[in-house]
Amino acid sequence: DVKVTQSSRYLVKRTGEKVFLECVQDMDHENMFWYRQDPGLGLRLIYFSYDVKMKEKGDIPEGYSVSREKKERFSLILESASTNQTSMYLCASSGVYGYTFGSGTRLTVV
Amino acid sequence: RKEVEQDPGPFNVPEGATVAFNCTYSNSASQSFFWYRQDCRKEPKLLMSVYSSGNEDGRFTAQLNRASQYISLLIRDSKLSDSATYLCVVNGRTNAGKSTFGDGTTLTVKP
């Protein structure tokens, strides 16, 4: 069964901390994505990547960066966490048959 | 105007009912279409792809109308377990690169 694995299910961090969210896929997909999902706002694209070491900004990249050093791994970095970054973060990879999502990381910034 | 629009609902229906959702998209060059299902506090999961000829999977039927730029999902004989949010997804490239997600339609099936 194909999988996208996110390193943490729940995370609590303090304001100002640097936060790393890790995502690994085993489908050899080239395309990977980071979304955040908030009630009433749907899925919002933060960053995506079409290849190793390649990244493109999505709709809401401010306050985030990403890293793709290996094809299977796509990391989301919150440079200095703020309370408005409290959210559900979803990683996904995509191929011919659409997107496969990880189970999400619920991040709380206090 | 959003690229992909869905009626947010909620749709509240009794068990056994037939319910239909529509989704409109603005980019006429869109090439691939999907319906995803998202349960509460879970990740979205692919329900079915949508083809020009329409496709059916058990109680679920998906249709594409390119002329009017909408896709639909029909659920027959609704079950309690169908309660979820249904997301419409539209992609401009056939290789499912960067897709656009609708905000979802919430369905609650009641006994």
Mean pLDDT of A15-38: 95
**pLDDT at residue B79, as a whole number:** 98
Q: Are B101 and B38 in contact (CB under 8 A)?
A: no
Distance CA B111, CA B4 (A): 32
With cut-offs at 50, 70 and 90, classify the pLDDT of residue B93.
low
Helix/strand/coil for B80: helix
Contact yes or no for B96 and A103 at CB 8 A? no
**pLDDT at residue A95, as a whole number:** 82
Interface residue A43 vs chain B (CB under 8 A)? yes
What are A35-85's pLDDT values in tens digits? 999 988 889 999 999 999 889 999 999 999 999 999 999 999 999 999 999
Q: Which amino acid, one-letter code, is at B93?
A: R
User: Positive or negative, the Cα torsion across B43, B47, B50, B51?
Assistant: positive
Distance CA B12, CA B100 (A): 26
| Averaged confidence pLDDT in chain A | 94
What are B97-107's pLDDT values in tens digits? 678 899 999 99
User: Which residues from B are below 8 Å from A when comparing CB atoms?
Assistant: 32, 34, 36, 42-46, 49, 87, 89, 94-99, 101-104
A46 contacts in B (CB within 8 Å)?
A: none
Answer yes or no: is pLDDT of B96 > 70: no
Interface residue A39 vs chain B (CB under 8 A)? no
Q: Is the bond preceding B10 in cis, omega lying within 30 degrees of 0?
A: yes
